[in-house]
Amino acid sequence: MSNRRDFMGMALGGFTALGGIGALYAMKKTWDPLPSVKSAGFTTIDLKDAPENVLITEKWRGKPIFVLKQSKDMVAKMKEDDKKRLINIGDEHYAVCVGLCTHLGCIPGYRPETKDFLCACHGGMYDSSANVTKAPPPRGLDIPPFKIDGTKLVLGETGPEYEKMLADGTTLKV
Amino acid sequence: MAHFEKANSIEEWLDQRIGLRTLKRVMQTEYWIPKNINFLWAMGMVLAATFGILLVSGIFLLMYYVPDTKEAFDSVNYTIMTEVGYGWLWRHIHGVGASLVFLIIYIHMFTGIYYGSYKKGRELIWISGMLLFVLFSAEAFSGYMLPWGQMSYWAGMVITNLFSGGSLHADAFVEWIRGDYVPAQAFLGRFFMLHVLLMPLLIIGAIVFHFGTLRIPHVNNQDGEEFDYAEAAELYKAGKKKESKVIPFSPVFLSKDVFVMGVYFILFFFLVFYHFEFAMDPVNFDPANGLKTPAHIYPEWYFLWSYEILRPFSTNVGLIAFAIAQVIFFTLPFLDRSPNVAPANRRGVFHIWFWAMLVDMLVLTFMGKLPPQGIWSTIGLVAAITFFILWIALPIITKTEKKL
């Protein structure tokens, strides 16, 4: 008698637990970012027509993305560490980074005459490769994951050039 | 089929069917409250009333609020504030109420700490109360997202970023919470759901549980005195009201509560009509903009003390300190090793501990609002460290406390 009740109890409990786990899984998936959100997480930028020393701001995953084509003399004066931050397509060099100050997330402004970035919030400064030159920011502007496709840049995908930057610590993962 | 007599009144008719008289006796006329209490014992019912007012004002706001990132800001600041008849009233009641509910929660908490109302059978009252504090915090935060102004957006950004766990860089988890890479439609939709349905349901459940935990150990009194409730109740029922140490919850205790509520609501509606701006951050009257950060991001006043515990440390230490500060109050009944249930002024060193903790949290609150520069950040750091020293000291000073 008791065995039969135990069996009924365990069978009911087992199936209830199974249903509960299934429901939890469905709830977790419902909270996941939608496919449309995920697919909107890629931005393609054509670098071909970018003018030298003029900051272009794009948007990727809701964040501002700075694109700055470097002129020949800007690159010539640059330190080796800073050169590693640039994306090279043919003979052209570009700084591409997330336009949020690494201090507290304000948006720095670019000054073409002095060829540097200044963050108005707490006075942080960056050179034209967006590497930090004056504290409080702890590091240069982060570089978003990118893949080079001809003259185009796909942000959100990871190409070998980006992996190299991650590996040698040029940028943190965004 | 049960046997039913013909009823002579509506009350009797209901009593036959749902035991109305038993219910009234158990919940009101024979639910005993000690006499030896003061106005601080009214804070529980003041909180219940404030929650009721938040619920009613929220229902009217819900009629016109649109949980859509493109329309939310205008539905609050244009539709509700200028078009809906008396829409401004509901909004100001809701904003002021959200702020005052925390003021009363803090008074309620510190009353409990002062009189030792978390010990010897009252542990669950304290724990369920802390659970309510956490739920109200979640309710306040999710509600703060809804107007979709600059502070909504950036508070949402910063608070959800905390879940990346600093150096753990759990960005995928943060994106899962948001349903997007940044706070956007998915984020607003789910926080809307949390604010208007799930959190209020949990809060109502927790309130019922909180009342339930009170029933058997009974409410504490000004001297922490232990006495025989059954005996005191018999005296009261026998008409010896003067000799009895108790009064019934309703109508006697409740009428005292209603008086305190009356005073409280004068303050409440004074703020609603004349000083609602203290609950309305001016920065939040700019629509959310993911490409522009406000110069200073700070929470509402009731979260400032824990924000200030996060702020003076480096990222990881700050996060750990913040996480501990959120839950440390739950452990109060177990960290207080003294068997004494008595007001703090009779408990020696604990008396100093009580006021030190209260003042420290006030200092943290003020420093949290000031920009983190120069002397202010030093004071903030000292106050944050003091907070932890006090908690570490608590078991030691209460262990050595003289038994009363």
- CA–CA separation, A131 vs A82, rounded Å? 7
DSSP chain A: -HHHHHHHHHHHHHHHHHHHHHHHHHHHHHHSPPHHHHHTT-EEEE-TTPPBT-EEEEEETTEEEEEEEPPHHHHHT--HHHHTTSEEETTEEEEEEE-S-TTT---PEEETTTTEEE-TTT--EE-TT--EEESSSSSSPPPPPEEEETTEEEETB--HHHHHHHHTTSS---
For chain A, which residues lie within 8 Å of any Cβ of chain B, measuring from their own Cβ? Answer: 31-34, 37, 41, 59, 61-64, 100, 104-107, 121, 173
The DSSP output letter for B287 is B
- Cβ contact B176–A61 (<8 Å): no
Helices B43-62 and B254-274: angle between axes, nearest 10 degrees? 50
Tell which of B291, B311, B373 to mutate to test the A interface (max A CBs under 10 Å).
B291
Please report the number of interchain residue pairs, chain A to chain B, with beta-carbon separation below 8 angstroms.
47
DSSP A63-111: EEEEEEEPPHHHHHT--HHHHTTSEEETTEEEEEEE-S-TTT---PEEE
**Which residues of chain B does A106 touch, with a Cβ-Cβ cutoff of 8 Å?**
293, 295
Phi, psi of B379 (to 5 degrees): -60, -40
- Cβ contact A33–B178 (<8 Å): yes
What pLDDT, on a 0 to 100 scale, did the predictor assign at position A45?
A: 86
What pLDDT, on a 0 to 100 scale, did the predictor assign at position A1?
A: 58
Q: What is the pTM of this model?
A: 0.88
What pLDDT, on a 0 to 100 scale, did the predictor assign at position A93?
A: 86
Whether pLDDT at A75 is above 90: no
Of the candidates B175, B178, B295, the beta carbon closest to that of A121 is on B295
B184 touches chain A (CB under 8 A): yes
Which range scores top for mean pLDDT: A3-7, A147-151, B290-294?
A3-7
Which range scores top for mean pLDDT: A72-76, A145-149, B153-157, B217-221?
B217-221
Q: Smallest Cα–Cα separation from B226: which of B90, B117, B352?
A: B117
What pLDDT, on a 0 to 100 scale, did the predictor assign at position A104?
A: 67
- Cβ contact A37–B180 (<8 Å): yes
- CA–CA separation, B140 vs B152, rounded Å? 11
Nearest-CA distance A77 → chain B (Å)? 31
- Tokens at B218, concatenated: 């009974």
Task: Return the SS3 of B290.
Answer: coil
DSSP B189-228: HHHHHIIIIIHHHHHHHHHHHHHHHHHTT----TT-----
pLDDT in 10s for each residue of chain B, 404 residues? 789 999 999 999 999 999 999 999 999 999 999 999 999 999 999 999 999 999 999 999 999 999 999 999 999 999 999 999 999 999 999 999 999 999 999 999 999 999 999 998 999 999 999 999 999 999 999 999 999 999 999 999 888 988 888 778 788 899 999 999 889 999 999 999 999 999 999 999 999 999 999 999 999 999 999 999 999 999 999 999 999 999 999 999 999 999 999 999 999 999 999 999 999 999 999 999 988 878 777 889 999 999 899 888 877 888 899 999 999 999 999 999 999 999 999 999 999 999 999 999 999 999 988 877 788 889 999 999 999 999 999 999 999 998 88
Other beta carbons less than 10 A from residue B200's beta carbon: 17
Judge whether B158 and B294 are in contact, CB under 8 Å.
no
According to CATH, the topology of domain B31-297 is Cytochrome Bc1 Complex; Chain C (1.20.810)
ipTM over 0.90: no
Kindly give, in sequence order, each residue whose CB lies less than 8 Å from that of residue B232, ignoring residues fewer than 6 positions away: B32, B244, B245, B246
For the ranges A16-20, A80-84, B169-173, the lowest mean pLDDT is seen at A80-84
The proportion of chain A whose per-residue pLDDT surpasses 90, expressed as a percent, equals: 18
Nearest-CA distance B154 → chain A (Å)? 10
Tell which of A27, A30, A31 to mutate to test the B interface (max B CBs under 10 Å).
A31
What pLDDT, on a 0 to 100 scale, did the predictor assign at position B248?
A: 96
What pLDDT, on a 0 to 100 scale, did the predictor assign at position B128?
A: 98
- CA–CA separation, B61 vs B48, rounded Å? 20
Kindly give, in sequence order, each residue whose CB lies less than 8 Å from that of residue B144, ignoring residues fewer than 6 positions away: B151, B152, B155, B300
Q: Any idea where the domains of chain B sit in the sequence?
A: 31-297, 304-404
Sheet with A125-126, side-by-side order of all strands:
A109-111, A116-118, A125-126, A132-134
> By CA distance, what is A57's nearest residue in B?
B291
User: In the Cβ-directed half-sphere of B318, how many Cα atoms lie within 13 Å?
Assistant: 17
Q: What's the Cα-to-Cα distance from A99 to each of A127, A130, A165, B45, B214, rounded to whole Å?
A: 13, 9, 18, 51, 54
- Tokens at B184, concatenated: 């956007």
Q: Which residue has the higher pLDDT, B52 or A141?
A: B52
Task: Return the SS3 of B63.
Answer: coil
Q: pLDDT band for A46, please (50, 70, 90 cuts).
A: confident
Of the candidates A31, A32, A61, the beta carbon closest to that of B181 is on A61
